Amino acid sequence: MPNTEIHIERVKPHDAELQITTAGEGPLVVLIHGFPETSYSWRHQIPAIAQAGYKVIAPDMRGYATSDAPENITDYDIFHLTADIAGLIRHYGGGPATVIGHDWGAMVTWAFAQFRPDLLNGIAAMSVPYMPPIEMSLIDMLKANTGDGFHYILYFQEPGEAEKELDADPINTMRRILWLGSGDIDLTQIDTGEDRTGFLDGNIPEGLPPWLTQGDLDAYSQAFMKSGFTGGLNWYRNLHRNWELTKPWQHGPITVPTLFMAGTKDMVLASSGQVDENHPMLAFQSQYVNDVELAFIEGAGHWNQQEKPEQTNQALLEFLKKVSPTN
């Protein structure tokens, strides 16, 4: 029987010490969470992947929970984030590994596949597809298109501004954000008002989404009570810098085997079309990702690995068997 006992470790893979949740033995699988999450977002995947015969590690990324949170905003750029992953792979045997990322973790995963394909068996990206090369940074594009309107990414750019809202009540912040991304909510019924000024504006249901327990909410809330939201927000504050830093790779293809997964009600994609293989963002992706397969989780929203863990695990394990067989 595979050893699925979960351990918590502290590792310094680069220039910041991270807390790591780890389990199992076998080929290495790295799980990278998104915003605003922690390694806890992989609570349903860690035992399942370990049970299947893999060594799985899920870091609390820099700036989150009890992992180190450097003061300089530039210490959260894409080079630092991917260096953390490379250092973890070296620490846990040197690879090659399969890297799986959700939300911002998917963005790190895409970049890592471009920078260090030598350390990979394959990648899986959830919710955020590969972004094709663009002539101006996302920040400049949003400024040009949004005008005086509200966009959360622009709202996140000013240090200290979004923190005043998100840090005020981490329990309420996490409850609202997890509801807003859930496939159980009708986003067309959320009235944020014409004069939206904050990320948490809008009416949401009382209580919790059906896939989230009070214990789950407590785990997230306690983590952000310790760390605050600045670390995660600093990832957004490097978007323009990342665009500048990664120009040499912008036309390079993703060459490793890839799985892209999304919920059919994921707001990242559903806002611009039906979430299936014909979605316009996925059509762009196929031009730059050489070997990609798609998996759509029916009824799941943005938090697909938490909302529909059995379906998510099945797709991940099938992919892992192809790119990193255990025997």
Positions marked active-site: 103, 302
Do 108 and 83 touch, CB atoms closer than 8 A? no
Amino acid (1-letter code) at residue 59: P
Q: What is the DSSP pairing of strand 18-23 with strand 55-60?
A: antiparallel
- Cα–Cα distance for residue pair 142/130, rounded to 1 Å: 18
Q: Is the peptide bond before 96 cis (omega within 30 degrees of 0)?
A: yes
Distance of CA 35 to the CA centre of its chain: 6
- Cα–Cα distance for residue pair 264/260, rounded to 1 Å: 13
- Cα–Cα distance for residue pair 307/203, rounded to 1 Å: 21
Q: Is the peptide bond before 210 cis (omega within 30 degrees of 0)?
A: no
Output the CA–CA distances (angstroms, integers) from residue 298 to 130, 157, 200, 327, in the order listed. Answer: 21, 34, 26, 31
Phi and psi angles of residue 293, each rounded to the nearest 5 degrees, phi first: -120, 155
Integer-rounded Cα radius of gyration of the chain? 19
What are the residues facing 101 on neighbouring strands?
32, 125
Tokens of 287: 């031009």
Return the SS3 of 258. Answer: strand
Name the nearest CA neighbour of 161 among 237, 100, 68: 237
